Amino acid sequence: MQTAEQIAPPSAERPVHYLNVDYGIRSWLFTKDHKRIALLYLFVITGMFFLGGLFALLIRLELLTPAADLVQADTYNKLFTMHGIIMVFFFLIPSIPAVLGNFVLPMMIGARDLAFPRLNLASWYIFVVGVVFTLWAVFTGGIDTGWTFYTPYSTIGSNTKVIPAAVGIFINGFSSILTGLNFIVTVHRMRAPGLTWLRLPLFVWALYATSIIFILGTPVIAITLALVGVERGFHVGIFDPALGGDPILFQHLFWFYSHPAVYIMILPSMGVVSEIVPCFARKSPFGYAFIAFSSLAIAFLGFLVWGHHMFVAGQSAYASLIFSFLSFAVAIPSAVKVFNWTATLYRGSVLLDAPMLYALGFIGLFTIGGLTGLFLASLGLDVHVHDTYFVVAHFHYIMVGGAVMGYLGGIHYWWPKITGRMYPETLARLAALIVFLGFNLTFFPQFILGYLGMPRRYHVYPDEFQVLNVMSTAGASILGLGYLLPMTYLIWSLRYGARAPANPWGATGLEWQTPSPPPTENFAITRPRSRRGRRSSRRRPRTSSMTRFSSTTRRGSACGSSS
């Protein structure tokens, strides 16, 4: 950089930022700005979330009574399948990485954008194509294999739209891979000078670990689902036992990805919590390195435990023993995180703002989800509660109680940065409480139901289970309300919310050093236009020039003493 850098003149009335720099649909659809792409993701993902939620609501309504009065068995099978596919592949997996990660990761490391902005936009389009395929499957008859696509039912048994759904997930997988690739290269190459690995915000560590799972796991599910498609489409036997195949092999390959996928959902959420807790406890994160490396440890161990989904599927007892043992090992890094968050809270000046409420909810619910996970990892117990509502409750505590809570917490936390507006705090706290209560009322009874032996995936059940099911359905209605409320007031705040300062929470991450909402190139100082010829657009400067990461800034995103 030979030329002197020029400080952009402070504009008088309306500062130009990434939202008002350009209007019109083209400026959004062809944007290469990671912040705008994040918002594009936000629109699609929110839509998918409410669609998946609608299916969940129908499921719960059917289960209100023991008999089949709302839907019949076939429809019910389709409902829970589509609920699972949409929520897992099109909401939970992309939610935090593609929305919040896309938005804040470059800012957190002091970069102007991701390493490959065009690739980033391409992954959004690929994602949308995947969504279109899946919606096509959903609206032209649905699919009833369960979100797991177990063979041979998915290849020869089912008469539903298996191939379009598999294609949708296959395509979506490429979007995940590209996002993961982008994040990894960005973290390696675009960090601000002086921002060493052990000073990275914990959210970045979590996203990095997630990206590793993306690039290592996703190709396996892609090839597996492609083979399901081939087997179904051309009647070529690969997994079908009638043609000499081994259906358990499908389960191995499926869970090789899909168990780590659980960590794709939960790790970014943990990252968000690791940002929020130190900020609202007004302390540095306790055990920074432990939290950071436990993310990597989870990503690593998460790949070694997939067999615990197959304890009763015909897997050998010897393999089950190994997988059971390894599954217990995953609890260690997860517990390290929980203990470190709690230690961060200890003697902090805890502020109970809405993001913090979600984070606290996360810690509690994730702990319950994790501990019941240990029950399920125990070989002997799992044989009894396998495929009961105990499992359903367990993974909803992880996915909804964990991942969704973290997502909502992150949305609230970074909302002022994203939109430049504050959300109404009182309403937000109320919503956080409603979500927490509604969630527990929905899923805690399911633990008991499962323990009593109610199997999952049936639309009818014996009369004696009705009380608990009614409680669960009531909770689901409250939970639904709890999700609609933030949606409403967040949209309201776009117009009527108070203007947000650059750093409303008194946090120390680099993303708070720039105005809310940030300018297109993230940080106020830009290089003069004349320098940005063809050559420099090809070889982009590695970092924003203002952000020499000073060693006085504390590591992680701990809050400064002043706010």
Partner 1 sequence: MTTHPGTAAHDMPHGDEAVGHVVPLPIYFAVFVTLLVFTGVTATVAFVDLGRFNIFVALTIAVIKASLVLLYFMHLRYSSRLTLLFVGIAFFWLGTMIALTMSDVVSRGWFGAAGLG
Partner 2 sequence: MWVFLVTEILFFGGLFTIYTVYRSLYPHAFGHASSTLDLTLGTTNTAVLIGSSLTMALAVHTAQVSRNGRLIALFLCATMLLGGVFLGIKAVEYAQKFHEHHVPGPYFHWEGGDPQHVELYFSLYFVMTGLHALHMVIGEGVLAVLAIMALRGRFGPSYFTPVELTGLYWHFVDIIWIFLFPLLYLVERHS
Site string for partner 1, 188-227 (x = CB under 8 A): xx----------------------x---x---x-------
**Residue 298: which H helix or E strand, with range?**
helix 288-301
Rounded Cα distance, 475 and 438, in Å: 5
Give the shortest CB-507-to-partner 2 separation in angstroms: 31
Site string for partner 2, 501-540 (x = CB under 8 A): ----------------------------------------
Considering the rule CB under 8 A, would residue 73 count as an interface residue with partner 1? no
Give the shortest CB-314-to-partner 2 separation in angstroms: 14
Given candidates 68, 119, 226, 524, which one binds partner 1 under the rule CB under 8 A?
119
Residue number with CB closer to partner 2 (238 or 391): 238
Query: What is the three-state SS of 59-74?
Result: HHHHCCCCCCCCCCHH
Choose the binding region for partner 2 from 41-49, 179-187, 377-385, 509-517 (rule: CB under 8 A).
Answer: 179-187
Given candidates 70, 122, 181, 502, which one binds partner 2 under the rule CB under 8 A?
181
Considering the rule CB under 8 A, would residue 12 count as an interface residue with partner 1? no
Considering the rule CB under 8 A, would residue 116 count as an interface residue with partner 1? yes
Report phi then psi at 553, rounded to 5.
-70, 135
Contacts of 403 (CB under 8 A, 6+ apart): 92, 95, 96, 265, 266, 268, 269
Beta-carbon count within 10 A of 457 CB: 13
Binds 332: which of partner 2, partner 1, none (CB < 5-8 Å by kind): none
Residues 380-409 binding partner 1 (CB under 8 A) are: 383
Choose the binding region for partner 1 from 21-29, 42-50, 245-253, 272-280 (rule: CB under 8 A).
Answer: 245-253
Give the shortest CB-511-to-partner 2 separation in angstroms: 25
Side chain identity, residue 542: R
Residue number with CB closer to partner 2 (248 or 502): 248
Rounded Cα distance, 128 and 131, in Å: 5
Give the shortest CB-59-to-partner 2 separation in angstroms: 32
Return the residue matching tokens 């004696």.
464
Contact 244, 175 (CB under 8 A): no
Residue number with CB closer to partner 2 (127 or 465): 127
Rounded Cα distance, 476 and 444, in Å: 11
Binds 224: which of partner 2, partner 1, none (CB < 5-8 Å by kind): partner 2
Rounded Cα distance, 99 and 408, in Å: 12
Given candidates 185, 223, 484, 546, which one binds partner 1 under the rule CB under 8 A?
185
Considering the rule CB under 8 A, would residue 263 count as an interface residue with partner 1? no
Residue number with CB closer to partner 2 (54 or 184): 184
**Residue 264: which H helix or E strand, with range?**
helix 247-281
User: CA distances (Å), 521 to each of 25, 112, 180, 518, in order?
Assistant: 20, 5, 22, 8
Site string for partner 2, 220-239 (x = CB under 8 A): x-xxx--x--x---xxxxx-
Chain centre to alpha carbon of residue 293 = 19
Residue number with CB closer to partner 1 (61 or 185): 185
Binds 118: which of partner 1, partner 2, none (CB < 5-8 Å by kind): partner 1
Give the shortest CB-116-to-partner 2 separation in angstroms: 11
Residues 236-265 binding partner 2 (CB under 8 A) are: 236-238, 243-246, 249, 252-253, 256
Give the shortest CB-226-to-partner 1 separation in angstroms: 17
**Residue 402: which H helix or E strand, with range?**
none
List the structure tokens of 488: 């409403």
Rounded Cα distance, 44 and 127, in Å: 9
DSSP labels, 190-258: -PPTT--GGGS-HHHHHHHHHHHHHHHHHHHHHHHHHHHHHHHHH---SS-GGGT--HHHHHHHHHHHH
List the structure tokens of 84: 């699972």
Residues 308-337 binding partner 1 (CB under 8 A) are: 310-320, 322-323
Residue number with CB closer to partner 1 (252 or 337): 252
Considering the rule CB under 8 A, would residue 322 count as an interface residue with partner 2? no
Side chain identity, residue 58: L
DSSP labels, 70-98: SS-HHHHHHHHHHHHHIIIIIIIHHIIII
Residue number with CB closer to partner 1 (186 or 274): 186
Contacts of 517 (CB under 8 A, 6+ apart): 17, 18, 19, 35, 417, 418, 419, 420
Rounded Cα distance, 70 and 546, in Å: 61
Rounded Cα distance, 290 and 268, in Å: 16
**Residue 188: is it exposed, middle or buried by C-beta count within 10 angstroms (0-12/13-18/19+)?**
exposed
Give the shortest CB-99-to-partner 2 separation in angstroms: 22
Count of residues touching partner 1 (by CB under 8 A): 38
Give the shortest CB-400-to-partner 1 separation in angstroms: 29
* Residues near partner 2 (CB under 8 A): 177, 181, 184-185, 215-220, 222-224, 227, 230, 234-238, 243-246, 249, 252-253, 256
* Residues near partner 1 (CB under 8 A): 115-116, 118-119, 185, 188-189, 212, 216, 220, 246, 248-249, 252-253, 256, 303-304, 306-307, 310-320, 322-323, 379, 383, 538-540
